Amino acid sequence: MDKVYNHSEYEEKIYKKWESSGAFSPIVNKKKKPFTIIMPPPNANDPLHIGHARFVAIEDILARYHRMQGEPTLWLPGTDHAGIETQYVFEKKLREKGKSRFDYDRDTLYKMIWDYVQQNSDTSISQMKRLGASADWSRLKFTLDPDIVKVIYGTFKKLYDEGLIYRGERIVNYCTRCGTSFSELEVNHVERDDELYYLDYGTLTIATTRPEPIFADVAVAVHPKDKRYKHLIGKKAIIPIINREIPIITDAVVDPSYGAGAVKVSPGHDKVDFEIAQRHKLPILKAIDVDGRMINVPEKYAGLYVNQAREAVVADLTETGLIKKTEKIHHTIGVCYRDKSVIEPMVSKQWFLEVKPLTKAALAAVKTRRVRITSQKFEKIAVHWLKNLKDWNISRQIVWGIRIPAWRCEKCLNWEITSGLEPLECTKCGHTKLTQDKDTFDTWFSSGQWPFATLQTTKKGDFDYFYPTSVMNTAYDILPFWVIKMVMLGLYATGEVPFKEILFHGLVRDREGQKISKSKGNVINPIKMAEKYGADALRMGIVWGALVDNDISLSEDNIRGQRNFANKLWNIARFVLSNETKIRNSKHEIRTRPRVTNLDDKWILAELKKSQKKITKLLDKYRLNEAAEELYNFIWKKFADSYLEKTKSRREDAQAVLEYVLYCSLVIAHPFMPFVTEAIYQETGKDGLLINAPWIN
């Protein structure tokens, strides 16, 4: 063996051996219970970030452990088209060339994004392999695979046929830059200071942070118990600038302590106002279009962007003395999670999923433990979301994604919903000219079907054998976006929960606990770290020091420290397997526990057994950091620092124990540090691969 373990000389060769051996593909055995993980699909065209590396490390540890336990283990990999995420990145590249998405027709733009994704589609896959991911690549799926799309269409049609899908005009979160609606879950809420304007509405004063859409006001609302305005109920207020009369109404949602206690009602541009309008049967007016420009307003404001219009309206109100006063207000606003622009609430016709029947079934599954969330704090959050989830806007106004299979009859305006194939004629009037809706599915609607859609489209019998899957592991920040949607849609489409357990993992932060971001300059590139210190060191660094469901603070020092551990294991092996001693017992089977009488030998074998049992229990409970620490403590302190030192004066007598303890150490370390353990195992001269070795209980 070389004096120093050089990971760069071993890792690629070892991975090729694993992959070519078929070790990643499970052998179906109906007599055995399988262990299955469906990989959360990373963006097909993006490089892995450190958060991805954490899920790779966690899931690969579990996959290797259960595989060594003799369970038919399937870790099914996939990549995600990522909808708005990918289109947003592609549009940035277009802007760099002086182009825009509006320069291309729909089909051309889709083809351009498709080609871009295909050119880069191997990026995340090759990087996951670089980190040692023992996923079954023969079952690799992409969220836009035709067979996956077919499953998505089938679920949509079933939901529609059962009355759970409807097309309605509702107020939605709209990003005028991205040109699409978003669900409430995809809106980031940030705090900021703004001006609160007190405006003269003739008979009373209202307070608002948004004077620019006053032209779409349909009423002024006050609280029914607010004595200040009791004499004005049923009378009229006057919208400034345009001098249009609107009714003064009461609604319990109005906060009497906010501003003047009277608010303008603009249902076309505010969610609360929309609900007020629904209750009072008020009309819906629009003053802002999907591009963020003013419409249906006096000519001088028409075509202005929202911020420009606000300045112009405020200037005119100030000049006419209709702004009574202003004051600073600290409040929360919604911004686009992609480009951080202010979200514009907007009334729009969209496709909605009625969620109540689905959330009811999901709640029952959580409460009866058909699906178990391993962390109680995240179970509470999941239950909260399931209890409060509103009808889900599943349509998006983007090109890149799965187009909604809905065709509208140009004669009678009837919608035809199919499983993907274009209808030949309208079933209502027989007209043969139908036009497909331009909208695409919300990415979370399609990825919410990922567990069953993948297994129904891989190899024959996969769904019957591997579903429901064993555990879903993903970051806790997408609990409401994705995880509860998978439970809802999985139960609806298959009658079974999609996974039996949910293991959330925390985020990766820098050494000071700060969120990792490019703007802060604290990004940790997982591939660079793997190249510098080895994939094993990165993996150990990622699981070290905190429970899986907690955030971790990671620095290069952490990873460097685990590289030292890999080197320590290599040096132990060099000592045990060294040919220089000429005392190695070639007849001894290193995988068989030797009989001993020496007290030191008895002690190390007893400590080994305790550590093996402890690590097994900890892995079964997903306490990966504690298992890693127990492994580190046994190998470094007990095996190397204590026992190994004591054998130097009695090498020949202790050799069988040294070899056996080394072998067992390789087995229990393999899920965490697969490359260095496999490299050492190959040095023992034994047949086969360590990845296929049985776990030692």
**pLDDT tens readout for residues 425-472:** 999 999 999 999 999 999 999 999 999 999 999 999 999 999 999 999
CATH of the domain at 269: 3.90.740.10
* 173 close to 184: Cβ distance less than 8 angstroms: yes
DSSP-derived letter for residue 342 is B
Sign of CA dihedral 270, 276, 279, 282: negative
In a domain, 90, yes or no: no
381 within 8 A of 389, measured Cβ to Cβ: no
| pLDDT value at residue 519 | 61
The burial class, CB within 10 Å (0-12 / 13-18 / 19+), for 422 is exposed
Q: Per the structure block, which two tokens stand in for 455?
A: 């297994």
Q: What is the pLDDT of residues 109-124, one digit of tens each?
A: 999 999 999 888 888 9
> Between the CA of residue 580 and those of 1, 4, 577, what are the distances in Å?
11, 17, 9
Find the distance separating the first CA and the last CA of the chain, reported in whole Å. Answer: 29
The residue among 496, 487, 501 whose CA lies nearest residue 467 is: 496
- Of 345, 365, 388, the residue at which a domain comes to its end is 345
pLDDT < 50 stretches in the chain: 580, 582-585
Within 10 A of 83 (CB to CB), how many other CB atoms are there? 25
Distance between CA atoms of residues 435 and 8, nearest Å: 56
The answer to the question of residue 568 being in a domain is yes
pTM across the whole model:
0.90
Query: What gap in Å lies between CA 690 and CA 672, rounded to an integer?
Result: 13
Let me know if residue 41 belongs to a domain. no
Task: Indicate whether 312 belongs to any domain.
Answer: yes
325 beta partners: 198
User: Does residue 363 fall inside a structural domain?
Assistant: no
- Domain termination site, one of 311, 345, 379: 345
pLDDT of residue 588: 67
Report how many domains make up the chain.
2
Phi, psi of 627 (to 5 degrees): -65, -40
Local structure of 688: helix, strand or coil: coil
Q: How far apart are CA 470 and CA 473, in angstroms?
A: 10
| Amino acid, res. 523 | V
> Contact at 8 Å (CB) between 402 and 396?
no
Continuous segment of H or E residues that includes residue 239: strand 236-239
What is d(CA 369, CA 359) in angstroms, rounded to the nearest whole number?
15
Identify which of 596, 588, 603, 584 has the alpha carbon closest to the alpha carbon of residue 651. Answer: 584
* Three-state DSSP class for residue 140: coil
Report the distance separating Cα 668 and Cα 697, nearest Å.
10
Name the residue among 603, 588, 599, 606 with its Cα closest to residue 660.
588
| Half-sphere exposure of residue 515: CA atoms within 13 angstroms, side-chain side | 4
Q: Which of 351, 360, 361 is nearest to 404 (CA)?
A: 351
The encoded tokens of residue 615 equal 């690590």
Domain that holds residue 285: 180-345
| Strand spans (E) along 394-491 | 395-396, 406-409, 415-417, 434-436, 440-441, 469-475
CA distances from 161 to 62, 116, 227, 349, 418 (A): 40, 36, 50, 20, 10
Burial class (CB in 10 A: 0-12, 13-18, 19+), 201: buried
Which residues lie below 8 Å from residue 50, measured CB to CB, with a gap of 6+?
508, 516, 523, 524, 525, 526, 542, 554
H or E stretch at 276: helix 271-280
Q: What distance in Å separates the CA atoms of residue 182 and residue 628, rounded to the nearest whole number?
A: 41
Of 345, 380, 410, which closes a domain? 345
CA torsion angle 183 185 191 193 (round to 10):
10
Establish whether the linkage from the previous residue to 34 is cis, with ω within 30° of 0: no
H or E element at residue 175: strand 165-175
The CATH number of the domain holding residue 658 is 1.10.730.10
Give the relative orientation of helices 674-683 and 7-21 as an angle to the nearest 10 degrees: 90
Beta bridge partners of 142: 79
CA torsion 666-667-670-675 (nearest 10°) is 50
**CA 664 to each of CA 592, 593, 609: distance values in angstroms, whole numbers, following the listed order:** 10, 10, 9
Q: Show the 3-state SS of 179-229.
A: CEEECHHHEEEEEEEEEEEEEECCCCEEEECCCHHHHHCCEEEECCCCHHH
Q: What distance in Å separates the CA atoms of residue 683 and residue 697, rounded to the nearest whole number?
A: 24
| Measured distance CA(516)–CA(506) in Å, rounded | 13
- pLDDT score at 340: 84
Instruction: Enter the DSSP assignment of 649.
Output: T
580 belongs to a structural domain: yes
Round to whole Å and give the CA distance between 385 and 462.
Answer: 31
Task: Identify the residue whose tokens are 């404001």.
Answer: 301
List Cβ neighbours of 256 (8 Å cut-off, separation of 6 or more): 222, 223, 225, 226
* DSSP bridge pairs for 501: 372, 471
Runs of H (alpha helix) within 296-442:
306-319, 356-367, 376-388
What are the tokens at 336?
Answer: 């686009």
The pLDDT assigned to 580 comes to: 47
Q: Which two tokens mark 67?
A: 């595989």
Distance CA 79, CA 408 (A): 32
Whether 290 is in a domain gets the answer yes
Is 224 within a domain?
yes
Pairwise CA distance, residues 658 & 652, whole Å: 10
pLDDT score for 582: 46
